[in-house]
Structure 1
Amino acid sequence: MFPQRVRIKNGNLLLIREANVWDARRLVDYMKEVTSETDFLITSPEEVFDVSTEKRYIRMYKNDARKLMLVGEINREIVSVLSFNGFGRKRTKHVGEFGISVKKRYWGLGIGSAMIKSLIDWAKQNDFKRIQLEVLKSNERAISLYKKFGFEVEGMKKKAVLKDDGSFEDILIMALLLD
């Protein structure tokens, strides 16, 4: 199923592929950049994994058929990362949760849509019936994107995130039920 190539709105070709161990250094650099350019991510720049931890994390994904880590690249630059964790218990093995990020200068080009579409296709092929996520209530762009794919708000975690300024933010729980 991977790699995939998708033409995005600015005419560039987005390569969507599974992450590999040799991506670790670039993924650490990517995460340091994206966590410093937006408050919509839970991870802060000082919490980004080091390269050896990132390698272990990638291996964990590669060795588990119920996990998926996708990298979106344009001209060999990592511009997006999506990670999906399928639940492991018998009664919830049909469920998985994902997170996604896109470099800010690439927002609005359809990269998030391409990555999510790839995930949904993969999840259907792997017998998942429910994909869920958590998103900051203030992240209207992301919420709109998820709704475009049919995700629905199912609930809210109040004061779930403590922001740098000392204020709290609610998190929305959203899910998509697959055929």
Structure 2
Amino acid sequence: MILTSRDYAVRNLHYTIRSAELRDARALSEVRLQIDGETENMDRVHGEAYINEENFKEIIQKDSDMLNHLFLVAEVNGGIAGFSRCEGNELQRSSHKVEFGVGVLMDFWGYGIGKNLLKESISWADSNHIIKMTLNVLETNEKAINIYKDNGFKVEGILQKDKMLSDGKYYNTLLMGRLR
């Protein structure tokens, strides 16, 4: 699904949120790899489940063709600072929902990029008759949890001791959902 671009300005940082395009594939591969190495809030450690340029092209094409998929990027000065995806599926019984995920480079934290990617995704979902959005978030990611709650998401479940972080301790994953 395609979204027209929107421009944002926060504390002297100007960025655009727009649909991902095939030309973004290489940068997305690099950005995703970097994000995985910058925070423990993601499912992967640096280098795990690597997606190369060609695989990103396939994802972008599929997301552009599917009515219940959305792939957004946040562009700053011609480079990608973050991205989000809403992924639905073709199963009739769950065709009313999408799963949301987001990643933003650490250099761009605090500028509302993740929050605005979320808001654009919610707007898209609501206007496309998506009944439910779901996401998973690490229990220690309080800033993200608060943003999700502020945007209508509720904790629907807890996966206990779901992730082991670099400190060797286990942490819970919160399952959150938002109903239109």
Q: Which TM class, normalised by the smaller chain length?
A: over 0.9
Correspondent of 1:84 among 75, 83, 86: 86
1:162 — aligned with what? Answer: 164
Secondary structure of 1:8's partner? strand
Q: Secondary structure at the match of 2:47?
A: helix
CA contact (8 A) 1:8 1:110 kept: no
Equivalence for 2:17:
16
2:161–2:171 Cα contact (<8 Å) kept: yes
Tell me by how many angstroms 1:134 deviates.
Answer: 0.4
TM-score by length of 1: 0.92
Deviation at 1:55?
1.8
Question: Which sections of structure 2, spanning at least 5 residues, go unmatched?
Answer: none
Q: Distance in 2 between matches of 1:57 and 1:113?
A: 23
CA distance in 1, matches of 2:63, 2:45: 22
Q: Distance in 1 between matches of 2:89 and 2:3?
A: 22
Superposed displacement of residue 9, structure 1: 2.1
Alignment: residue pair count: 178
Counterpart in the other structure of 2:97:
95
Query: Aligned partners of 1:166 and 1:88: how far apart in 2?
Result: 38
Map of 2:132 onto structure 1: 130
Please say if residues 160 and 171 of structure 1, whose CA atoms lie closer than 8 Å, have aligned partners that are also in contact. Answer: yes
- TM-score (structure 2 length as normaliser): 0.92
CA RMSD of aligned residues (A): 1.5
Q: Counterparts of 1:27-106 in structure 2 under 5 Å?
A: 27-47=28-48, 48-106=50-108
Question: Unaligned stretches of 5+ in structure 1?
Answer: none
8 A contact 2:5–2:19 mirrored in 1: no
**How far apart, CA to CA, are the structure 2 residues paired with 1:46 and 1:125?**
36
Provide the C-alpha distance between the structure 2 equivalents of 1:88 and 1:160, rounded to a whole number of angstroms: 27
Runs of 4+ in structure 1 off by over 3 angstroms are: none
**Please, which moves more after superposition, 59-68 or 30-39?**
59-68
> Counterparts of 2:69 and 2:132 in 1: how far apart (Å)?
14
Give the counterpart of 2:148 among 141, 146, 161. 146
User: What's the % identity of the aligned pairs?
Assistant: 31
> How far is 1:165 from its partner?
4.2
